[in-house]
Structure 1
């Protein structure tokens, strides 16, 4: 049932984005290539072979996009720094790019001038390509020191103004989709070992960066360093079945616990160690495919998060499913479970993203119980649509935001320590291997128009009302928000239709007319030659 009430005073409301998905300007002003530049430039890796070369042109539109943030009346903006934009090869001793450093300085300063708090992620998947080519990226332990150098440069250059740092955004996807399935950059299919090895190095890197900040910068800058972990909720198909309950627990531990357990409890979840260890032994391997932490490393890693960032999108029903003995195992078969969905769950866009708000409250309560009720910021939560045509009256996104934000309010009443919420995302943007076919934005972008204009969807108006009211005050007011949002989007839709017509007219003017004019000149020349031949 829906709960009417407001959030505590000082609760932070924001929106998010990431560098590669929005900035564009992939080789401009001294930026080095990232693994995503290299990956998207290979044919067949991304839907329709689309790239983030220009993305939303965010590099050139910082001031415009900050105006959108002001429109929304958000408290904070979560964005990521592109490592190769400020350190082209990823190696501090080789080269720094002052243009890139200036770009982020200007962005941070503009946000603060407009009373918007920057929350900055150091890594949203765009590893410098040089580090991938030279060392194998996150498969190599040398990344720990290279990343720590990069993080310390960011603390030095921006830490006087940035007080909320995220080391890694959704490292699960970096490890599993980058080094196991190969769906994401760098596109490696190192089945059974690649994801675990990458994650191991990422966790150690996170800890090193936290200690660097703690020892060198904290006393002067007084900021916080955390990590952002993305996880669905796993609900047992039969809550009375112990095997289904165990399978649902494994689902969470193999997603969230993989990274959160070492940071909050000092080691990988026991269930991961047991299952991967047993399957490795069945394969005849002398050691587990899941690496181990030494006693010193466990102590070093435990407690290295001032807050926990949580990304959450959807829920699955989970049941036990034993995979037959496989000579080549994988992360997907290691946890012996199957995922199901309820066909009645709304799925407005892609088939992976079902709207199941109640799963969010359960996930937040799980975190409270498992990890000692840490300080939580929701760092990613939103829903996408599959693009057929522009959909500005995004009623399903309004329902999604309303439902999920309401579950956070219920979790707060359960005693969960949530301090902020970040809607994902500010803009329609490049969605990794899905290209531009999925749209998460509160603002629609017309990517066919060279100026990439932004148009507010109905959800902008609705989210703005939630922020202003700091929650859901009463049924009548909340219902009124819905109607006003739908009225606003009708006006915007007319504006978009007019602008699209103008864009088409401009294309006619810029392409068709010059072509016709050129053809006319050519025909005239041919006719003149024929005429002159006939008369000589």
Structure 2
């Protein structure tokens, strides 16, 4: 078995066409760093241990009938709470420059009071951070990655305007606890994904998602300025937000406006207020939602307004542009879109239809097709629309089934890294690349079905044994040689 593994690995790493050999000589500049990422609920386990209280995902995964694939939960997950030393060894084995992980809000503040800090939770993150620093691996921390404390979700979560202050209080606590060693902070991960999913769960799409977006943008901006005003001089770190987006390609020339509208609702909804010169929501959101709202009998737009002071607060509130990206889709708009979506709803407001052709390279996840050209176009779009901000690729990866011979993932990384280099060659200021994910983890509604891990996790083992896949050796070579 061992001999077979190394033979297959050699073939995977050596199999290149003439064009790929040419690409293999391409080199990354020294100012780009490479790492891997995870999030707390997806790997930690220990969901109710050592003082931690429930998060919304603890409750969702325990719901009956099951809403998660195969009734999986994150109760144990990869058990990183007890395996953090092995996790750091994996980082060391690959030669990672950094590791992006998140902090569990309810593990640090079990009652949501900044005066009631859970010492056991602090101890866990201190041990993880210190172990990483021992091997010169830089910690990059996400403050909030989906797992809202259940007690706050019960009060409305991000639809409640008080959530802004609750989040800012929490951010201040983690800055104080870990800011002497953590110099890169991500306030919120994928706000649009969270807002749209939670709005659909409570059947309030087209209303709650925009309230949620408004409050997340304000929470992010206020947390950003807490760092600038109270911690920047002392620690000198950077703070930003992580946005996610597919690339949307028009099905034909006449669908260019439809594709742009879709991209503005998905990415621009959060990027435009922060990174554009004018701030505020994109004009297409304001115009389309106002028109739809009036036609539906609402007395005012379902899209809440920002005050002039709030526009100025949010504008420029990020030291970099954090981007999670995986795949692309085609977009069109014609008469068939009328009545296609419930009304009111987020999708009805956009008024387009998206799909992925069967001819595109498939993965085990039905939503993820391999489209490196879309990554290239999205990076260029961000450069052109937002003045070429420092860009951190905070997630990028490919799911496979179980097993160590993840050939598709190896070639996924080759293709996407080459696409990223193409955009860099044209001037994009990409500084960080993060492979998702370090190890197999709980992939939200898909449970443990989709394996994104560079390292395979045996979820049937009491110790959650980690084993490197072929992609580990490829990524290690990229990091060491700085070549694809």
Give TM-score scaled by structure 2 length.
Answer: 0.93
Structure 1 unaligned regions, length at least 5? 183-187, 473-536
Alignment counterpart, residue 449 of structure 1, candidates 457, 461, 469: 461
Contact 1:92–1:146 at 8 Å: present in 2 too? no
* Equivalent residue runs for 1:338-353 within 5 Å: 338-353=353-368
Aligned to 1:401: 413
Question: Which one of the candidate residues 152, 161, 164 is aligned to 2:181?
Answer: 161
SS in 1 for 2:260: helix
Q: Report Cα offsets for 1:57-104 as digits up to 9, x if no partner.
A: 0000000010000011110000000000010022324x2101101111
Distance in 2 separating the partners of 1:121 and 1:253: 24
Aligned twin of 1:235: 249
Q: Which residue of 2 aligns with 1:526?
A: none
CA distance in 1, matches of 2:425, 2:342: 48
Paired with 1:54 and 1:192, the residues of 2 have a C-alpha distance of 35
CA distance in 1, matches of 2:301, 2:73: 38
Match in the other structure for 1:259: 270
Deviations 1:430-474 (A, max 9, x none): 1111111111101111111111101111111111111111123xx
- Of residues 179, 190, 197, the one that matches 2:211 is 197
Is the partner of 1:125 in helix, strand or coil?
A: coil
Distance 2:432 2:167 in 1: 27
Name the SS of the counterpart of 1:119 in structure 2: strand
- For 1:6, what is the secondary structure of its paired residue? coil
1:112 paired to 2:124: no
Work out whether residues 276 and 288 of structure 1, in 8 Å CA contact, stay in contact via their aligned partners in 2: yes
Q: Distance in 2 between matches of 1:159 and 1:165?
A: 9
8 Å contact kept, 1:89–1:129: no
Matched ranges for 1:215-226 at <5 A: 215-226=229-240
The structure with the largest alpha-carbon Rg is 1
Q: Verify: 1:16 aligned to 2:22, yes or no.
A: no
How much has 1:327 moved relative to structure 2?
A: 7.7
Counterpart for residue 415 of structure 1: 427
- Higher RCO (C-alpha under 8 Å, 6+ residues apart): 2
How far apart, in 2, do the equivalents of 1:307 and 1:90 lie? 29
1:437 corresponds to:
449
CA distance in 1, matches of 2:188, 2:342: 33
Quick check: 1:20–1:82 contact (8 Å CA) kept in 2? yes
| Separation in structure 2 between the aligned mates of residue 157 and residue 121 of structure 1, nearest angstrom | 14
| C-alpha contact (below 8 Å) 2:34/2:97 kept by paired residues | yes
Task: Find the counterpart in structure 1 of residue 73 from structure 2.
Answer: 51
Output one character per residue of 1:251-302: Cα deviation in whole Å (capped at 9) or x when no partner: 1111110110111121111111111111111101011111111111101110
Partner of residue 369 from structure 2, selected from 329, 348, 354: 354
Q: How does 1:316-355 map to 2 (within 5 A)?
A: 316-322=329-335, 323-324=337-338, 328-355=343-370
Q: Distance in 1 between matches of 2:300 and 2:382?
A: 31
| Residues matched between the structures, number | 458
Deviation at 1:359, TM superposition (A): 0.5
Assess if the C-alpha contact under 8 Å between 2:438 and 2:455 holds in 1: yes
Q: Matches of residues 69-84 of structure 1 in structure 2 within 5 Å?
A: 69-84=91-106
Distance 1:440 1:215 in 2: 38
Q: 1:303 aligns with which of 306, 316, 330?
A: 316
1:147 aligns with 2:162: no
1:371-392 superposed Cα distances (whole Å, 9 cap, x missing partner) = 111011100000112x4xx321
Does 2:302 match 1:289? yes
CA contact (8 A) 2:342 2:348 kept: no
- Corresponding residue for residue 221 of structure 2: 207
Does structure 1 conserve the Cα–Cα contact (< 8 Å) formed by 2:196 and 2:205?
A: no
- Partner Cα separation in structure 2 for residue 324 and residue 364 of structure 1: 32
SS state of the match for residue 59, structure 1? helix
How far 1:340 moved relative to its partner?
2.2
Normalising by structure 1, we get a TM-score of: 0.84
3-state SS, counterpart of residue 21 of structure 1: helix
Q: Match for residue 198 of structure 2?
A: 178
Residues 360, 369 of structure 2: 8 Å contact kept:
yes
Deviation at 1:324, TM superposition (A): 2.7
In the alignment, is the contact (CA less than 8 A) between 1:321 and 1:336 conserved in 2?
no
The answer to whether residue 384 in structure 2 is matched with residue 373 in structure 1 is: no
Matched-pair contact (CA < 8 Å) for 1:151–1:209: yes
Change (3 A) 1:143 1:462: same
Runs (5+) with no aligned partner, structure 2: 1-18
Determine if the alignment matches structure 1 residue 33 to structure 2 residue 33: no
> Does the 8 Å CA contact 1:277/1:290 hold for their aligned counterparts?
yes
Instruction: Report how far residue 47 of structure 1 moved.
Output: 1.1
How far did 1:28 drift? Answer: 0.7
Q: Is the 8 A contact 1:311 1:378 kept in 2?
A: yes
